[in-house]
Amino acid sequence: MAKHHVSFTINGDPTEILCETHATLLDVLRDELELTGTKEGCSTGDCGACSVTVDGRLVCSCLMLGVEANGKAIGTVEGLAKGDKLHVLQEKFLEHHALQCGICTPGFLVASKALLEKNPDPTETEVRYWLAGNLCRCTGYDKIVRAVMDAATVMRGA
């Protein structure tokens, strides 16, 4: 099968891979780059578990081909913390107990970060509707929404 040379940055690090034509960005992240923080919940763009940012835009990595990443800046959950220092969103998810099984958590964090970069002062309704593309079967969402609202407050102050 044909392989394509693809180069991009992942959480700021320049990366080059040989990528099969049909491989999704999600496959590339999980199987090639061993960045398994990004999860697959549906592979049809409906659950948000695979959320990443592409040049700052929130994308379902299951719906994007690996080859389309060429020349782009990809952000994943692994890029949130800087060394041992957690991102405010990560801290707030911990503080508000905004997770149970945790498998949706990377997607929610990446999606929330993309929201706050676009809209640093969202209303609760805006948070709810922005996160409506991320499914969580455990929590009931309340604590997730609170964590994001709280993180937004802290980040505005910072």
Partner 1 sequence: MHATVDQLQKARIDGGVHEPRAHDSSIRHVTGEAVYTGDIKLPADAVAVFIATSPHAHAAIRSIDLEAVRRQPGIIAVLGAGDIPGINDCSPFAGDDPIFAEAKVEYAGQSLFAVAAATLAEARAAATLAVIDFAPQPAIVTIAQAMATQSYLSPPRTLIHGDPEAAIATAAHRLTGRIEIGGQEHFYLEGQVAIAMPGEGDEMLIHSSTQHPTEVQHKVADALGVPFHAVTVEVRRMGGAFGGKETHGNLPATVAALVARQTGRAAIVRYDRDDDMHITGKRHDFRIDYTAGFDDTGRILGVTFDHASRCGMSFDLSAAISDRALCHADNAYFIPAMRVTSYLCKTNTASNTAFRGFGGPQGMIGIERVIEEIARHLRVDPVTVRRANFYPHKDSGGHRATPYRMLVEDCIIQDLFDELEASSDYAPRRAEIIAFNAKSAVLKRGIAMTPVKFGISFNNIMLNQAGALVHVYADGSIGLNHGGTEMGQGLFIKVAQVVAEAFQVDLDRVKITATTTGKVPNTSATAASSGSDLNGMAALDAANKIKARLAAYLANAHNVAAAAITFEPNRILVGGREIAFDDAIAEAHRARVSLSATGFYATPKLHWDEGTRTGRPFYYFCFGAAVSEVAIDTLTGENRILRVDIVHDCGRSLNPAIDLGQIEGGFVQGAGWLTMEELVWDDRGRLKTHAPATYKIPCASDRPVDLRIKIHDRGRNIEDTIYRSKAVGEPPLMLAISAHAALSDAVASVAGGRVAPDLDAPATPERILMAVERVKANAP
Q: According to the binding rule CB under 6 A, does residue 118 interact with ligand FES?
A: no
Q: Are strands 73-75 and 3-10 parallel, antiparallel or unpaired?
A: parallel
Strand order in the sheet with 57-60: 13-20, 3-10, 73-75, 51-54, 57-60
User: Which 24-83 positions form the footprint of partner 1 (CB under 8 A)?
Assistant: 30, 34-44, 46-47, 49, 76-78, 80-81
In sequence order, which residues have a C-beta less than 8 Å from that of residue 17 and are 6 or more positions away? Answer: 5, 6, 7, 28, 32, 33, 66
Q: Look at residues 14, 13, 132 and name the one whose alpha carbon lies nearest to residue 78.
A: 13
Q: According to the binding rule CB under 6 A, does residue 137 interact with ligand FES?
A: yes
CB nearer partner 1, residue 46 or residue 71: 46
Q: According to the binding rule CB under 6 A, does residue 47 interact with ligand FES?
A: yes
Q: According to the binding rule CB under 6 A, does residue 45 interact with ligand FES?
A: yes
Given ligand FES, partner 1, none, residue 129, with its beta carbon under 5 to 8 Å by kind, binds partner 1
Q: For the purposes of burial, counting CB atoms within 10 Å of the CB of 84, is it exposed (0-12), middle (13-18) or buried (19 or more)?
A: exposed
Among 139, 143, 145, 148, binds ligand FES (CB under 6 A): 139
Note the residues at the interface with partner 1 (CB under 8 A): 22, 30, 34-44, 46-47, 49, 76-78, 80-81, 86, 90, 93-94, 97, 99-106, 109, 127-129, 131-145
